[in-house]
Structure 1
Amino acid sequence: MFKNKKCNIKNSLKVYVYRILIMNKAIVILECKMEGIVDMIYRIKQFLWYIISPFKPIDYNFLKSYLDKEEVKLFSSLKSGEKQHCIRVAKASLQYINNEESSEICSSLDKAWFMKVCLLHDIGKKFGSLSIIDKSLLVIINKLFKDKMNKYMNVKKIDVYYNHPIKGYEYLKQLNKYDERFLYLIKNHHNYKVKGDEMLNILVHFDNLN
């Protein structure tokens, strides 16, 4: 009788553990699906933003608060969709920093300097324009064949899509106007291997959201 009771407890534990594993797997699948849905929503928002950007005036008052005349001229070399994107990234980052001033990184951050980073982070795209169709196709291709894209870097649009952070870094560096930290953020804003850099995380986060 004692042996049967022990066996029943053991079987109950197995069933309990099995159910936990099943629930955990279901949660992981649900999380993946939710991430996919959220990503799809952001992509739709980005598509709509890009479509309406030519009809939306550029906030030059905001630009002139953080960029000098030469930088405004440089910024103007971007397509309207990219300009609006950079402004959204800067404004969203500024709002976050203002709301999180109690945190160590935000309280010590030079806002004007960081706004300049945000506004110029995609300046490497001045070397080649991407339409919304180009970008949409490249996002899909990137998800499916990222490891195989190196062989197509001679195609200008693909080169700009993947390498605009490096191109922006190299262009700004030769101006001898920006410090190494500034250039580092420009260069690495698509480098997801960098960990523990809170300033870069803010830029990457709002770049992806906008």
Structure 2
Amino acid sequence: MVYRIKQFVWAMVAKMSIEEKEFVNHYLSEKEKELFYKLRVYEQKHSLRVANALKKRAGKDQQVEYIRLGLLHDIGKSEYPLNPIEKSIIVVLDHLTKGKIQKMSHLKMVKCYYYHGNISYNLLSEAGDYNLLFLEAIKDHHSAKETSNSLLKALKECDDLS
């Protein structure tokens, strides 16, 4: 619960520095940047934290792929960008209903919260040519299923900590 409060505070004060924008611009293509910058600033900052956590885990030859994975994993949230209050409401309702609110996925805010991985997968599939393991990691980063995909394992761990 303390972590959720910390996330809320981060969301309320989020700002992108010039250095952070340069970092994003260095690693993403024009189309990817277009998708990334549609995210709310607090979601951009979260993606940067995930990208930096993944960078620390990656070997030298994997860094670019891991950074890009972190930056792009939540771009599906741009389809219906939730403000921090809306996101807090969904998180509380998810907890109170023990996930049953997911059945109301006809509501855009619920659909975006639960299915942003699938939306991200679809957006990236349309935007370019990506490795299947990369796309799978993005699509399933909130899935509970077991996997041998090292990208997915790393993304899940870093996303949960950021």
Unmatched runs of 5 consecutive residues or more in structure 2: none
Question: In the alignment, is residue 93 of structure 1 matched against residue 45 of structure 2?
Answer: no
Q: Distance in 2 between the 1:147 and 1:80 partners?
A: 27
What is the SS of the residue equivalent to 2:143?
coil
Quote the offset at 1:70 in angstroms: 2.4
Equivalent position amino acid for 1:67 in 2: L
Q: Distance in 2 between the 1:205 and 1:114 partners?
A: 13
2:23 to 62, 65, 74: 62
Deviations 1:10-54 (A, max 9, x none): xxxxxxxxxxxxxxxxxxxxxxxxxxxxxx22112211110111x
**After the TM superposition, which residues 104-119 of structure 1 pair with which residues of structure 2 at under 5 Å, given as runs?**
106-107=58-59, 110-119=62-71
Structure 1 counterpart of 2:38: 77
Aligned identity (percent) is 35
**After the TM superposition, which residues 14-33 of structure 1 pair with which residues of structure 2 at under 5 Å, given as runs?**
none
What count of residue pairs does the alignment treat as equivalent?
Answer: 161
Unmatched runs of 5 consecutive residues or more in structure 1: 1-39, 98-105
Quote the offset at 1:69 in angstroms: 2.4
Quote the offset at 1:57 in angstroms: 2.5
Contact 2:94 2:102 in 1 (8 A): no
Q: Distance in 1 between the 2:38 and 2:48 partners?
A: 14
Larger Rg: 1
Contact 2:120 2:139 in 1 (8 A): yes
Structure 1 counterpart of 2:88: 136
- Structure number with the higher helix fraction is 1
What is the SS of the residue equivalent to 1:130?
coil
**CA-based RMSD:** 1.9
